[in-house]
């Protein structure tokens, strides 16, 4: 009998391990809204079917209420059997402010891949503005020696993702370079798929991906070659891959770009695309003494969307996420300021329409800092850069060594950021904290909502 039970146990264990081995990466949480949620994973080529089961665990408005779980089942209807098989489940009809449990089965066998998510609360007109936080960062490089440049490995300590997985935050916002294409990938469609799949599947990522919803914008390295923009020959493939490995709320308009937005509490996050329409950095900033209108970073379609979205927004805080820095006047590298016609257009728009609560959030630079630029007649603008997660770091130098516009700086350290929104209505505060690999605090800065409002004049 003992031998029989042992045989059954090991048979079940082997079946479970086999099913689990067919998951390449994930599960990962995508957007979780009031009544909808997305769950992502990637499966191996031999998989024939993927099924998601989910049920409510508790309603947070009535935590003591006894709930009889009703399991709902969704079978993935998309194509499988390819070399790369990202799978996204979208489930609806959920209760708001409730905890759900989900289980993933492959080819009729439970995999052990499961987790929980919590839907948003319906607080508007009913409750105080909720306090919440989100994590952010950019530049995640995982070493692969046969394709890396010779010399010291560029990728650093990836246990930073284990630290981040323990955070109790509403979501993670990737600011670009979520994976790093290499020279062998640039002109290879297969190589671009491989790079996203390889880096997403790193075991150290597993706990973090399912710990909280994941949103992302891209920058050059998860778009294609270094510093590339609109002329990249594989941009269509790159867009398909990005949208296959992130399940953002949407991706551009008219099948162009990957820009989108999300809202949480009293913050709207505008997730821009700084690559799809981007002119070459080497294009002249000015022509005949005037800003060159042909040199753009966001492009006309996206600028129109951003302006309308900002006008529509009633959020206390309007976070504009950009892959490149925005405001840094002394940066010798990529920055929106180096596209002066478009940059000036946005700055004029913000002033003329008295858009309050704007904060820029950027990545790319392999250091973290907060840049402050004063504006006569209005509130100052801030550009908060968070970088890098695991890629190489550097020391402030050159014209940026003693940047007079920098009010906080962190160099030579891997780090991530946490944005926290707290306080009563009309007294809300944004606190930005930077943390190292093991969660040690590296810096902190805060701003009150009233410091991000257009001053009233006698004519108002």
DSSP-assigned letters across all residues of 68-90: ----EEEE--S---SSSEEEEEE
> Residue 415: which residues within 8 A CB-CB, separation 6 or more?
137, 160, 368, 386, 387, 388, 389, 434, 435, 436, 442
Task: Note the pLDDT of residue 459.
Answer: 55
DSSP-assigned letters across all residues of 139-191: ------TTTSPSSS-S---TTHHHHHHT---S-EEEES-SS---TTTTT-HHH
Bridge-based pairing state of the strands 358-362 and 267-271: unpaired
Helix 299-312 vs helix 340-352: angle between axes, to the nearest 10 degrees?
A: 20
Task: Note the pLDDT of residue 65.
Answer: 80
Which tokens in the block code for residue 407?
């009010």
Angle at 189 between CA 45 and CA 149, to 5 degrees: 105
Give the 3-state secondary structure of residue 308: helix
Task: Note the pLDDT of residue 132.
Answer: 98
Q: Which residues of the chain have pLDDT under 50?
A: 2, 4-5, 7-18
Which tokens in the block code for residue 119?
């839907």
Question: Looking up tokens 């989910």, which residue turns up?
Answer: 54
Task: Note the pLDDT of residue 19.
Answer: 55
Whole-model pTM?
0.95
34, 119 contact by CB (below 8 A): yes
* Neighbour tally for 218: CB within 10 Å: 27
- Sheet containing strand 132-137, edge to edge, reads 214-217, 172-175, 132-137, 416-422, 429-435, 441-448
Nearest to 121 by CA among 67, 71, 62: 62
Task: Note the pLDDT of residue 20.
Answer: 57
Task: Note the pLDDT of residue 13.
Answer: 42
Spatial separation of the C-alpha atoms in residues 453 and 378, rounded to whole Å: 7
Task: Note the pLDDT of residue 69.
Answer: 81
Which tokens in the block code for residue 288?
């005949």
């Amino acid at each position: 009998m003992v031998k029989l039970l042992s045989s059954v146990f090991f048979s079940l264990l082997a079946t479970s391990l086999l099913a689990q081995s067919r998951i390449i990466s994930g599960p990962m949480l995508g957007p979780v809204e009031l009544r909808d949620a997305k769950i992502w994973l990637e499966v191996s080529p031999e998989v024939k079917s993927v099924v998601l089961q989910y049920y409510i665990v508790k309603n947070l408005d009535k935590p003591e209420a006894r709930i009889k779980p009703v399991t709902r089942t969704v079978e993935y209807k998309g194509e499988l059997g390819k070399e790369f098989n990202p799978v996204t489940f979208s489930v609806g009809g959920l209760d708001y402010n409730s905890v759900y449990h989900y289980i993933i089965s492959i080819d009729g066998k439970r995999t052990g891949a499961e987790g929980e998510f919590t839907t948003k609360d319906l607080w508007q007109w009913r409750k105080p503005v909720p306090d919440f936080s989100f994590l952010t960062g950019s530049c995640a490089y995982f070493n692969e020696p046969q394709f890396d440049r010779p010399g010291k490995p560029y990728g650093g300590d990836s246990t930073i993702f284990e630290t981040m997985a323990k955070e109790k935050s509403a979501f993670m916002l990737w600011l670009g370079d979520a994976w790093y294409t290499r020279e062998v990938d640039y002109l290879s469609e297969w190589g671009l798929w491989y790079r996203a799949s390889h880096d997403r599947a790193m075991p150290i990522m597993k706990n973090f991906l399912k710990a909280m919803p994941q949103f992302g914008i891209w920058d050059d390295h998860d778009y294609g070659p270094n510093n590339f923009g609109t002329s990249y020959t594989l941009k269509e493939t790159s867009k398909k891959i990005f949208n296959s490995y992130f399940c953002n709320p949407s991706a551009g308009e008219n099948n162009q770009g990957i820009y989108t937005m999300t809202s949480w509490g009293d913050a709207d996050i505008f997730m821009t695309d700084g690559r799809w329409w981007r002119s070459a950095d080497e294009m002249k900033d000015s022509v005949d003494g005037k800003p060159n209108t042909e040199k753009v970073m966001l492009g006309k379609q996206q600028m129109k969307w951003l302006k309308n979205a900002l006008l529509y927004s009633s959020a206390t805080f309007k976070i504009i996420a950009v892959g490149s820095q925005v405001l840094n006047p002394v940066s010798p590298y990529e920055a929106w300021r180096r596209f002066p016609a478009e940059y000036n257009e946005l700055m004029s728009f913000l002033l003329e329409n008295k858009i309050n609560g704007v904060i820029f959030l950027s990545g790319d630079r392999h250091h973290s800092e907060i840049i402050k630029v004063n504006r006569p007649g209005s509130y100052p603008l801030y550009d908060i850069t968070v970088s890098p997660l695991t890629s190489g770091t550097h020391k402030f130098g050159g014209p940026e060594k003693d940047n007079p516009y920098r009010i906080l700086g962190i160099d030579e350290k891997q780090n991530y950021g946490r944005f926290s929104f707290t306080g009563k209505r009309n007294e809300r505060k944004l606190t930005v904290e930077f943390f190292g690999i093991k969660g040690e605090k590296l810096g902190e800065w805060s701003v009150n909502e009233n410091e991000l409002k257009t001053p009233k004049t006698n004519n108002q």
